[in-house]
DNA sequence: AGAAAAAAAGAGTTGAATCTCTTTATTTCT
DNA sequence: AGAAATAAAGAGATTCAACTCTTTTTTTCT
């Protein structure tokens, strides 16, 4: 796939926290990892990273856990991808060793080009807020 | 990416042989690997696999190398994918741990669905013959 | 027959992503 | 103050694709 597993884990966990940490309550790592079926130590590292980058807040100790901050709702998928993967894996040609180059399309380039545009746009447009709405309306699912 | 590097190598090498092995002449492993910039020992394994599955023919010894057979021109990209990757990596959800399921779309499912259909169709439709035509017409490139 | 050329086969290395285990630091509650 | 809960940090294990190196087999040519 063009996303790492880490990215999927990060997006789902962030959306999960956004859904369940309203009114000051926090969501524990264990709770997230069990609900979303993600190895919890591994998720721990990812959460640290998200907190470090200001996507979420965390608190240690009893009743500790993860919660949203002012920015969370407006975080775009592309920001999370930047944190987890560094870059979108669609820059290199799907079947080549070189960079994808529209002036020198490979055998599957044209099948990919339109999709790539859709995906880039989607990632840089959709926010956590938008995702939670979809989830609440039952239009998409976290697990 | 959703294709392995091996798949890209296999498709490009097969197309290369189809282009340059006409009228009984064979193409050597070294020649292919140098032209397409593929590690030659690694390509050797891939070629063996293609020969074993009847995609190409090979001959050892001086003037040995790889050549097409009756089937080669009609081989579909999906057949090569089957040999190299076993299956298309679009079956599992792009951000989940589970299988992709249209009845339970994840947060990016809809962005992917249309593309997936295009790609599956393209893979199961396009043949080596078609690729060589595109290459000859300068409409696509191998490297 | 013997040498050389080439693919085939076998076995090992590497690096990155993913996952696991253990220890530490921080916070809360009694 | 001390115990318990919880995230953070460190360090290591596992896995797999990708790659490399060496040896064997087959074929051709002199
Ligand atoms: S994907 Fe191959 S050139 Fe663009
Ligand atoms: S890609 Fe996630 S459910 Fe289809």
Q: What is the pLDDT of residues A34-74, one digit of tens each?
A: 999 999 999 999 999 999 999 999 999 999 999 999 999 99
DSSP letter at A29 equals H
pTM: 0.93
| pLDDT (0 to 100) of residue B115 | 85
Distance A142 CA to ligand 2 centre (A): 10
Q: Which CATH architecture has domain B5-89+128-136?
A: Orthogonal Bundle (1.10)
| pLDDT (0 to 100) of residue A33 | 98
Q: How far is the CA of B45 from the C1' of C12 (A)?
A: 15
Nearest CA in chain A to B109: A140
**Is the separation of the CB atoms in B78 and B110 below 8 Å?**
no
Question: Going by C-beta distance under 8 Å and a sequence separation of 6 or more, which residues neighbour residue A48?
Answer: A58
Closest ligand 2 atom to Cα of B99: 3
Ligand 1 binding pocket includes A55 (Cβ within 6 Å): no
Nucleotide nearest to A59 (CA to C1'): D7
Residues on chain A touching B137 (C-beta within 8 angstroms) = none
Q: Tell me the average pLDDT across B51-70.
A: 97
Structure-block tokens of residue B91: 């079956």
Higher-confidence residue: A116 or B7? B7
| pLDDT (0 to 100) of residue B87 | 82
**What is the separation, in whole angstroms, between the first and last Cα of chain A?**
18
Closest CA to B56 of B42, B71, B41: B71
pLDDT at B89 over 80: no
Higher-confidence residue: A80 or B114? A80
Q: How confident is the model at residue B23 (pLDDT cuts 50, 70, 90)?
A: low
């Amino acid at each position: 796939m063009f996303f790492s597993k880490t990215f999927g884990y990060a997006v789902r966990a962030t959306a999960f926290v956004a859904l369940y940490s309203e009114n000051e309550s926090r969501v524990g790592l264990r709770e997230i990892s069990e609900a979303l079926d993600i190895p919890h130590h591994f998720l721990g590292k990812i959460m640290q990273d998200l907190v470090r980058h200001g996507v979420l807040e965390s608190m240690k100790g009893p009743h500790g856990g993860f919660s949203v901050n002012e920015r969370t709702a407006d975080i775009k998928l592309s920001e999370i991808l930047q944190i987890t993967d560094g870059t979108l894996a669609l820059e290199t040609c799907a079947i080549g060793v070189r960079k994808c180059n529209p002036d020198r399309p490979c055998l599957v380039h044209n099948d990919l080009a339109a999709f790539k545009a859709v995906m880039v746009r989607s990632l840089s447009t959709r926010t956590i807020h938008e995702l939670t709405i979809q989830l609440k309306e039952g239009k998409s699912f976290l697990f």
